[in-house]
Chains A and B, each alone.
Chain A
């Protein structure tokens, strides 16, 4: 029997209080769940709410467990599985520094332009590019850059939201 693992993107609305991220991460490590990516930031400074976007992988049974376990945490308000809920958008932002020279340097700039990356910093032998897009686009860009010089990467991880006219997880309610 092959076990089919699925990739799911889960949004979690939590009280922005000390320890809340530790509760979420501790749940994943303690129960042996995977985290592919995790982003968190306060999104509502009046109600003090943060939104955590988690990309995880597991069997359907494990994904159900992850959601149920997350919902059990007291400072967690809402858990939404964007992957099962329907169409949604996933984006991440990455900063990529490339150190090189000569033809490779020109090629890096050309590729950056194709990927609509912005140049944030430049020296005579380096660039810092900013790129946003799906994780696969970011990865493709990083792979290309890596073949053109020494590369340093900082990625935010996936931030996600559902498509359509319904605000599933509204703030300031």
Chain B
């Protein structure tokens, strides 16, 4: 066989020689991998053969490679472990690209193994050849093309290290078929060597933390703005955040990625901030004098117009990634380090200076915040028979209280409503595509969550249009009897597109109607699943109960009001203090020309 490395025949070598494919599985097992999401093909057949012979790692067969990556993301986000994907060369790898980009934007630790044509064919436009490392370079944290069996194990081990430490992200290891079949000696793992090249700073500069404590102690109108970095740091960071909030009594808002870091029931929690965040969260950000950003990146969905973003505050930015600092917003005090560790040290420093919140100032500040809260920006009018989408999600939340539900979403209006109306008490319970905004994310992500948390209630809050982008995964749910609940907010529109067309493009609903939808009940039936439909408000509670009680996968088609818009909303190009609270606001604040070009 061409290209097979037969040089490793040293008689003195006592370590067992295995094939490259076996070595890959060995390294995965050594890294604690229990499950792989994948799809076979010609260039990864040796690995599938090794999987067939081994029983250490479980393989979940998806129906499309994009779904394999999202499933691994859901698994990673709900368990804190690194998700692992296995796909073939060419189309297998290119199909994975959306998922990889999604994981990069949301900082999700993933290892994606891609097959590649044998080394001697690389560059020849061979069958199912793609320049995978070239294609995935901008959408991975790092990637490898393993050209020789000698570097197979070291590349895989470094890949795990890079994916899971620092700011986590996806790493691709491209594996030519001849390398998978070569003889490999699996050396003992040398941690120092594996970690030598990539050593992110997790321990913050103590002086900077002290300075932050002083700024916090002097604050009259503070806000804590927490993000996905707290979730990524691990559950201990969320515990520390709770401690910090209790110690300071500071109002706290969370980004879409950070939901669950502080319980939604906490009296200091202002709700999510940003484009569809609460009125009180955004105005607190606008009027604060000290902002403590922990593990968030001043994303454009959060800041609105940057030159009007929180104009009078001193900003402290805690981030593990130095490139996030001063990227969108110039800050006064950057602190590079792990979110959990920084909060821990900050609490120490605050205690050391005998910090006591300024009671008068805080009372005045909370008084202002209460006045903003009293606007009740998330109110909606559930009257008549037709289900309001907000009501459907709110009831789903109320009826699943105490069940420790894990929720994924697709992308669009339902996603924002889920963020607004479904409360999270714990981290790692909320899986949504934040940065990339990938329609079709929720169903495969929910699959991964269910695999990682077999006994938990897992719900994909979906829109009918997004759902159809990866609905082939119903087959995967059926195969493994994964009891995922597909809660489809069906308004027969690409709702967010329709909303923007209404607000910005004169109500010209170009191509945003969900034409020719399937009969979702028959669709569920065809996969041997339970299908339910709620047509009126009276149906809703019963449908939710039946869905939750059923011990297999359920598709619930929730027919909702078709033209409901997602409010509050900061229109593109507007500032936090220029929110639209409801449909009656839109005439007063037309979107600016600069805003029109923003996404």
Identify which of A69-77, A87-95, A111-119 touches chain B.
Answer: A69-77
Q: A61-B326, A75-B197 are in contact. Are A18 and B145 (CB under 8 A)?
A: yes
- What residues of chain B lie closer than 8 Å to A18, measured between beta carbons? 145, 147
List residues of B (8-47) whose CB comes within 8 Å of A's CBs.
none
Task: Please state if B327 and A65 are interface contacts (CB–CB under 8 Å).
Answer: yes
Task: Please state if B137 and A22 are interface contacts (CB–CB under 8 Å).
Answer: yes
**Could you say which of B137, B323, B325, B326 contacts A23, with CB atoms under 8 Å apart?**
B137
Distance A61 CA – B198 CA, assembled complex (angstroms): 25
Min CB distance, B4 to chain A, in Å? 21
Task: Please state if A15 and B323 are interface contacts (CB–CB under 8 Å).
Answer: no
B582 within 8 A of A: no
A32 within 8 A of B: no
Q: A61-B330, A68-B325 are in contact. Are A26 and B137 (CB under 8 A)?
A: yes
Minimal Cβ-Cβ distance residue in B for A27: B138
Distance A26 CA – B134 CA, assembled complex (angstroms): 10
Per-residue interface assignment for chain B, residues 183 to 202, with 1 indicating a CB less than 8 Å from any chain A CB and 0 otherwise: 00000000000000110000
B321 within 8 A of A: yes
Task: Please state if B198 and A74 are interface contacts (CB–CB under 8 Å).
Answer: yes
**Could you say which of B197, B321, B326 contacts A64, with CB atoms under 8 Å apart?**
B326
Number of interface residues of B (CB under 8 A): 19
- What residues of chain A lie closer than 8 Å to B162, measured between beta carbons? 74
- What residues of chain A lie closer than 8 Å to B142, measured between beta carbons? 73-74
A30 within 8 A of B: yes
Distance A54 CA – B378 CA, assembled complex (angstroms): 51
Min CB distance, B321 to chain A, in Å? 7
Minimal Cβ-Cβ distance residue in B for A22: B137
Distance A75 CA – B327 CA, assembled complex (angstroms): 22
Task: Please state if B145 and A68 are interface contacts (CB–CB under 8 Å).
Answer: no
Min CB distance, B299 to chain A, in Å? 15
Min CB distance, A49 to chain B, in Å? 12
Min CB distance, A18 to chain B, in Å? 7
B133 within 8 A of A: yes
**Could you say which of A26, A72, A74 contacts B321, with CB atoms under 8 Å apart?**
A72
**Could you say which of A22, A72, A74 contacts B323, with CB atoms under 8 Å apart?**
A72
A102 within 8 A of B: no
Task: Please state if B137 and A74 are interface contacts (CB–CB under 8 Å).
Answer: no
B249 within 8 A of A: no
B263 within 8 A of A: no
Distance A147 CA – B24 CA, assembled complex (angstroms): 63
B322 within 8 A of A: yes
Which size class do A's interface residues fall under? 10 to 19
Task: Please state if A19 and B145 are interface contacts (CB–CB under 8 Å).
Answer: yes
- What residues of chain A lie closer than 8 Å to B326, measured between beta carbons? 61, 64-65
Min CB distance, A139 to chain B, in Å? 33
Per-residue interface assignment for chain B, residues 150 to 164, with 1 indicating a CB less than 8 Å from any chain A CB and 0 otherwise: 000000000000100
List residues of B (80-138) whose CB comes within 8 Å of A's CBs.
133-134, 137-138
Task: Please state if B197 and A15 are interface contacts (CB–CB under 8 Å).
Answer: yes
Task: Please state if A65 and B134 are interface contacts (CB–CB under 8 Å).
Answer: no
List residues of B (252-273) whose CB comes within 8 Å of A's CBs.
none
Min CB distance, B561 to chain A, in Å? 41
Min CB distance, B317 to chain A, in Å? 13
Distance A15 CA – B143 CA, assembled complex (angstroms): 14
Task: Please state if A26 and B138 are interface contacts (CB–CB under 8 Å).
Answer: yes
Min CB distance, A163 to chain B, in Å? 27
Distance A15 CA – B142 CA, assembled complex (angstroms): 14
Task: Please state if A68 and B137 are interface contacts (CB–CB under 8 Å).
Answer: no
Task: Please state if A69 and B138 are interface contacts (CB–CB under 8 Å).
Answer: no
Task: Please state if A74 and B197 are interface contacts (CB–CB under 8 Å).
Answer: yes
Distance A19 CA – B138 CA, assembled complex (angstroms): 12
Min CB distance, A81 to chain B, in Å? 14
Task: Please state if A68 and B134 are interface contacts (CB–CB under 8 Å).
Answer: no
**Could you say which of B134, B147, B197 contacts A22, with CB atoms under 8 Å apart?**
B134
- What residues of chain A lie closer than 8 Å to B327, measured between beta carbons? 65
Distance A132 CA – B198 CA, assembled complex (angstroms): 37
Minimal Cβ-Cβ distance residue in A for B141: A74
Distance A71 CA – B141 CA, assembled complex (angstroms): 12
- What residues of chain B lie closer than 8 Å to A73, measured between beta carbons? 142
Distance A161 CA – B285 CA, assembled complex (angstroms): 45
Q: A65-B326, A69-B323, A72-B321 are in contact. List 7 more A-B contacts (CB 8 A).
A: A18-B147, A19-B133, A22-B137, A26-B137, A65-B323, A65-B327, A73-B142
A residues lining the B interface (CB < 8 Å): 15, 18-19, 22-23, 26, 30, 61, 64-65, 68-69, 71-75
Between-chain CB contacts (< 8 Å), 30 pairs: A15-B197, A18-B145, A18-B147, A19-B134, A19-B137, A19-B143, A19-B145, A22-B134, A22-B137, A23-B137, A26-B138, A30-B138, A61-B326, A61-B330, A64-B326, A65-B323, A65-B326, A65-B327, A68-B322, A68-B323, A69-B323, A71-B322, A71-B323, A72-B321, A72-B322, A72-B323, A73-B142, A74-B141, A74-B162, A75-B197
